Every structure is written in structure tokens, then in C-alpha cells.
Amino acid sequence: MSMKIQVFLPSDAEFYLFAEVKKHVYEAGSVGLNQPDELSLEFLTGCCVVTENGIPLGRLAFYDNPELYWKGKKACCVGNFECINNAEIAETLFKQAELWAEENGFSYLLGPMNGSTWDNYRFSTHQDHPLFLSETFHPLYYNELFKECGFEVILNYQSRIEQGITTRNEKVAHKIQDSHLSNLIIRELDVSRLDEELEKLFPLVKAAFERNTLYTSISRETFHRKYAAIIRQLGTRYVLLAEMKGELIAFVFAFQNHLETTKKQLVYKTVARKFGKEYTGAGHLVALEIMKRAVEDGMEDAIHAFMIYDATSTEISENFNSQPYKEYVLYAKSIGNGKG
């Protein structure tokens, strides 16, 4: 067999091979085959595809995010990874990424990550439960290919599920009973003023997320584009803002899991609140209002999605009597100065 690696950009004529890889990884009709590639052009440096006898069987994109560091050293991303179950092909892809990283002074490869934590990243570690809306599907052997090529797990994440949702919750009631939030006004996002609403949300969400591991900044324009697209697609029934004297204090973004067809199920995507002891309980209050709406609409379960272990959102999730549901991992590989 003749193995060949090709490096190009989306503007190049050969780029069609990048999409073609998925036809050799997924069966016809698979959800994985129909997932959009979602290349993050802001940080994209290049794409590579490995072919055997002209057939594209593996691919990845590499990203240069100038704010991304791991253990105090420069890191770059490998994302949009798709590959048949073949360690030699995967190793060829990663060697190309390492070569580029070493030439540009990076010490770590992180992956899978499509440019930043604002984009798709992480691999599922099991598929014991159905895919939910906003979750990315991939073959589980991708984890083994990363590990066989020298990557190690650096961060663990989880999604939790609250079964039999209810508005009666003693843990939450206790959490908010002493809060000074009597003047808090909770309202639905006004989609008719979407640009204004997103402008108000941007500093709150940015401040809430910037303490997260591997956080990098996002421009107003990119934030508006990402959130506007998904809000217009999924609606605002479960997109609630909490304000006090006109100041935005907390925000919860949730939506119905339309991939679940046997029952109505809610997905919590974003929970954020303003920092400060005086705002303790605000996130719980907004989440409780979301839950009231979900019960009114006949929702049975709620998934609390993509939380890093020990994060504040995990505490809120546990207070709503959720249980572990799915797990995800992020990998890193040291190269050059990253060794040791």
C-alpha cells in the first residue's frame, strides 16, 4: 500500500478530501457522518489528510491559539480528528502536527480541541447512553488512538442527569433562603432585541468562564455569532436572565433535547452568575425557574451538560439531585520543551 500525507487549507482544491475521510469512518446514515465539521477559522493553521492508494482514511486540523497554555508553556490544538481504526495512520497525522508545533515553538499538543474551549472539544469515554443535542459523536477507539500515540488524559468532564424532575427541592430552598436576592427579576431573553441582549450577556459569560482551565478569550463578534445561531435555532423558552436594579446577575441557557424521541428531556448548556457573595444563590434561582417551566411543559429528565469536575456548575447540578451520566476527557502530549 502507498501511504501519503497531504497538508492544505480550506481554500485549496484538495480540501474535499478532508470531508471524504468521514465516509470511510462511519457507516451510511450514521449521525457521525452527518455532523458538520465546524472548522474554527480564527485559529486554523492547516489541515492534513492521510491517504492510502488515494483513499482518504485519516485527518486532523491544527490550530494556533496564541492565548493557550498548559503547565505554563505554549500549547497548540489538534482538532476535527477523524480516522479509521489504524494506529499507523493516526501516528502519521500526529507526527505532522508535532513537526509543525516544534517548528513554531510549542511545547504541548492538546486535543481534541477545535481551536479553543468555545469550540467543540473532548472525547466521550463511553456510549452507554444515547447521544443528546449539542453532544458530538465519534468512535470510542479514538481514545485508544490518542493514547497509543503518546497522549495522556489531562482533564476530566462529566454530564449528569436529573431524573424525575420536580420544582420541590429542599437543597435548593436551603441554598437560597438566606440570600439577599429579593429584588431579583428573572425574565426570558428577548429575541426581538437579540443583539442588545447578547451585548449585555457577553461580559457576564466571559467573566464566569475566564476562571476555567484552558480558558482563552473570545471576541464580541464571535460570541454574538455563536450564541445568536443556537438561540435562533432552539428558541428562548429556557434562556433566562436574572437582573437586579437593571444589572445582569445570572444567566441560564437550556433547551429541549430533540434527539430524545421517547420522552421530553431538557439540556442545561450554560450556567453563569456574577461573582460575589451577595449573589450567592442567583444561579440556583434561575435554574429553579427553568425547572418550573420544564415541569409545565412535561419534561421528565434534565441533563446538566459538559461540566469539569469540581466546577461551580457541578455543585448546582448536585443540588438538583443529579447523578453521573456521561464522562469525557481531554488529552495532551508533550513535545520539545514540554518534556519533563
Establish if 320 belongs to a structural domain: no
**Do 149 and 10 belong to one domain?**
yes
Paired strand residues for 253:
239, 270
Phi (first) and psi of residue 36, to 5 degrees: -70, 150
Nearest to 237 by CA among 284, 288, 190: 190
pLDDT in tens, 46-85: 999 999 999 999 999 999 999 999 999 999 999 999 999 9
The grid coordinates listed for 283 are 444561579
Instruction: Supply the pLDDT for residue 128.
Output: 95
pLDDT in tens, 274-303: 888 888 888 888 988 999 999 999 999 999
List the CATH number of the domain containing 240.
3.40.630.30
**Do 141 and 218 belong to one domain?**
no
Q: Side chain identity at 310, as an amino acid letter? A: D
Domain count, the chain: 2
Establish if 290 belongs to a structural domain: yes
Establish if 30 belongs to a structural domain: yes
What confidence category does residue 131 fall into, taking pLDDT thresholds of 50, 70 and 90?
very high
For residue 150, the enclosing domain spans 3-157+330-338
Phi (first) and psi of residue 127, to 5 degrees: -130, 50
**Do 119 and 233 belong to one domain?**
no
**Do 141 and 225 belong to one domain?**
no
